[in-house]
């Protein structure tokens, strides 16, 4: 860690807004998130809307944007997530080795730098889809970093000194971490990665003061370990019943059952409920795990204080396609069918957009948000179950039989890249993949710390299946979740893998895999501005203000699942869990890098 006397003094002055004491950390984070000058958490607010009230940059002047400054992280591989802005200080993270920089906004100098010591030989091989990290959290005067080696680290926001550190999993058994933590009340919450290595998923709430465990809820297993009450916890309005996390699996398969929790977390302070999704069941070969494989592929609503599950909803029972359910749940209040409802909106990997009552878990709408989706015809609204088209079931031919033209591909109609919501338009802005696949399961044996996949995939543009001559790999869409309808759609040559930003200036920002930052009109989708950054964008676009001036910033650095071929030097079409072939031409448009680019209007 690098520091200087000047840096420490400057950091103290710049961080005068920081309030010490975990009892006030939740109030502090809420207050900061309501001040549009900051970007205090991954989604901008606890609801995960990624919306800003700033409007200096608007649809009339966005075309005049210029690069204000940039910062190289000194790290290659995929740069997901985005910077936090707390008062006068901007905090930037990197992929492995998970550096953290505190930047003084007045002159863009480094206040402090944290460089963790991690065992790369142990950790990197068990990171399935690049060495990404999705961001930092702030609270109680601390910056929280979830390292790849599963260490959750609390850093003093003023100095970068380690306050405490706690081990969250075991990389020797395939466990890693890529998610951004979230601070709520006196707790910091984090998940676990490793579904492709037979890791049993869980979410953990740590006490913000010292890192001790407050509670941990598993995705599979006994009710008491999942923090499920068989009577009080509901799905589709009915009690879930007992031992579902065991008796929906063959034998002890639940112990290596996946359901990992590497996505995003949102929170409703009024309901005191935490929302998140669990991922794919291990293995990818469905023949090895008959049953619904509960509670993988599930949306969870948990009481923040106790961790007890209030309601759950399994989107893809007995997943046959690797449609991880970890994508964000966005919390909005909207009128639907003539009634104001507290809604949860979730754009799942499986290609369906779910609109739910976040109080009760009632399913209100489930519609496709990409026209290519074919693995299921629809979702039955009484049972909540998708109606699988047997033609695209990977059980169809049994093991070693290749099921062709399944849409979407395993990386989903949308992966982890978070959407945004504008209360001005009432629309959601969604970065999507327009990709299909061939899928061939095979027998695989579990061995701790070794890949537990059991399927060979190849991916390709959905246009090849639709035979419409349009072979693009992505769309950027505006979606009405009260109707389940796409309002407008912008085709992109490659998947849109960046997180989205919506603003009160009627501008929506997103990034492309070729490296373009784009600004479009929130009502029409009209392109207002674009600029090509030094590398492909898989990071999230954030905004803030400093000295009364609005800035927009995004990390560029190609990688992630879509860019794993370039990031890891893979060449075989089926490598990178099937993604390399689909994105092979990406290297003609961009190269590796790691840069934060900040934009503003000219003075």
Strand order in the sheet with 329-336: 329-336, 339-347, 352-357, 363-368
Q: Which two tokens stand for residue 386?
A: 């998708």
- CA dist 128 and 282 (Å) reads 13
- CA dist 534 and 591 (Å) reads 8
Q: Which two tokens stand for residue 456?
A: 């060979």
- CA dist 287 and 283 (Å) reads 9
Q: Contact, 556 vs 597, CB < 8 A? A: yes
Element (H, E) at 532: strand 527-532
Q: Which two tokens stand for residue 549?
A: 């001036």
Q: What is the Rg, in whole angstroms, of the alpha carbon atoms belonging to the chain?
A: 22
Q: Contact, 282 vs 258, CB < 8 A? A: yes
- Of 374, 263, 260, which Cα lies nearest the Cα of 321? 374
Of the residues 322, 324, 370, 438, only one is catalytic, namely 322
Q: Which two tokens stand for residue 380?
A: 């039955």
Q: For 263-294, give the DSSP string.
A: S--EEETTTTEEEEE--PPSPS-GGGS-S--T
- CA dist 454 and 442 (Å) reads 5
Q: Give the count of beta carbons closer than 10 Å to the beta carbon of residue 316.
A: 27
Q: Contact, 32 vs 46, CB < 8 A? A: no
Q: Give the count of beta carbons closer than 10 Å to the beta carbon of residue 2.
A: 12
Does the annotation mark 322 as catalytic? yes
Q: What is the 3-state secondary structure (H, E, C) of 85-134?
A: EECCEEEEECCCCCCEEEEECCCCCEEEEECCCCCHHHHHHHCECECCCC
Q: Which distant-in-sequence residues (6+ apart) come within 8 Å of 114 by Cβ?
A: 1, 99, 100, 101, 145, 153, 155, 160, 162
474 preceded by a cis bond (ω within 30 of 0): no
Q: Contact, 542 vs 585, CB < 8 A? A: no
Q: Contact, 268 vs 358, CB < 8 A? A: yes
- CA dist 532 and 40 (Å) reads 27
Query: Sign of the CA dihedral 579, 584, 586, 591?
Result: positive
- Of 296, 266, 264, which Cα lies nearest the Cα of 279? 296
Q: Give the count of beta carbons closer than 10 Å to the beta carbon of residue 113.
A: 17
Catalytic residues: 322
């Amino acid at each position: 860690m690098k520091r200087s006397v000047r840096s420490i003094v400057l950091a103290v002055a710049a961080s005068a807004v920081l309030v010490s004491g975990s009892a006030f950390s939740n109030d502090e984070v809420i207050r900061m998130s309501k001040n549009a000058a900051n970007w205090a958490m991954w989604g901008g607010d606890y609801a995960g809307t990624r919306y800003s009230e700033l409007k200096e940059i608007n649809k009339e002047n966005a075309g005049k944007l210029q690069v204000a400054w940039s910062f190289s992280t000194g790290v290659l591989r995929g740069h997901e997530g985005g910077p936090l802005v707390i008062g006068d200080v901007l905090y930037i993270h990197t992929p492995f080795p998970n550096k953290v920089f505190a930047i003084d906004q007045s002159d863009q100098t480094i206040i402090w730098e944290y460089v963790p010591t991690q065992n790369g030989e142990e950790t990197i091989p068990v990171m399935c889809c690049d060495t990404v990290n999705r961001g930092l959290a702030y609270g109680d005067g601390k910056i929280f970093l979830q390292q790849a080696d599963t260490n959750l680290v609390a850093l003093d926001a003023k100095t970068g000194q380690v306050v405490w550190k706690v081990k969250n999993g075991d990389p020797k058994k395939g466990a890693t971490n890529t998610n951004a933590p979230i601070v709520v009340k006196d707790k910091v919450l984090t998940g676990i990665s490793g579904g492709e290595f037979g890791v049993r998923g869980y979410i953990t709430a740590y006490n913000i003061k010292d890192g001790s465990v407050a509670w941990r809820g598993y995705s599979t297993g006994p009710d008491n370990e999942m923090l499920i009450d068989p009577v009080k916890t509901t799905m589709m309005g009915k009690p879930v019943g007992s031992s579902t996390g065991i008796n929906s699996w063959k034998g002890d398969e639940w112990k290596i059952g996946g359901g990992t929790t590497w996505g995003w977390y949102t929170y409703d302070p009024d309901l005191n409920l935490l929302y998140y999704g669990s991922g794919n069941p291990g293995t990818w070969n469905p023949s090895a795990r008959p049953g619904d494989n509960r509670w993988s592929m599930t949306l969870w609503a948990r009481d923040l204080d106790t961790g007890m599950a209030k309601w759950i909803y399994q989107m893809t029972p007995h997943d046959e396609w690797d449609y991880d359910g970890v994508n964000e749940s966005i919390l909005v209040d909207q009128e639907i069918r003539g009634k104001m409802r507290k809604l949860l909106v979730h754009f799942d990997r499986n290609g369906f957009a779910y609109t739910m009552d976040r109080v009760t878990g009632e399913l209100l709408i489930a519609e496709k948000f990409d026209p290519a989706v074919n693995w299921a015809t629809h979702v039955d609204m009484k049972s909540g179950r998708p109606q699988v088209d047997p033609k695209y079931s990977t059980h169809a031919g049994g093991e070693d039989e290749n099921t062709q033209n399944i849409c979407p591909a395993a990386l989903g109609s949308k992966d982890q890249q978070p959407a945004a919501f504008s209360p001005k338009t009432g629309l959601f802005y969604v970065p999507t993949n327009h990709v299909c696949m061939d899928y061939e399961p095979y027998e695989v044996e579990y061995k701790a710390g070794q890949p537990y996949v059991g399927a060979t995939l190849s991916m390709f543009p959905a246009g090849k299946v639709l035979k419409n001559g349009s072979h693009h790999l992505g769309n950027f869409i505006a979606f009405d979740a009260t109707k389940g309808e796409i309002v407008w759609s912008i085709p992109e040559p490659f998947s849109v893998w960046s997180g989205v930003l919506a603003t009160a200036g009627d501008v929506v920002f997103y990034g492309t895999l070729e490296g373009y930052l784009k600004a479009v009109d929130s009502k029409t989708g009209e392109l207002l501005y674009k600029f090509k950054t030094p590398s492909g964008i898989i990071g999230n676009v954030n905004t803030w203000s400093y000295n009364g001036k609005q800035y927009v910033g995004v990390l560029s650095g190609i990688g992630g699942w879509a860019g794993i071929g370039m990031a890891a030097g893979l060449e075989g079409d089926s490598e990178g869990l099937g993604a390399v072939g689909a994105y092979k031409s990406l290297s003609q448009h961009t190269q590796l890098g790691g840069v934060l680019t900040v934009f503003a209007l000219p003075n």
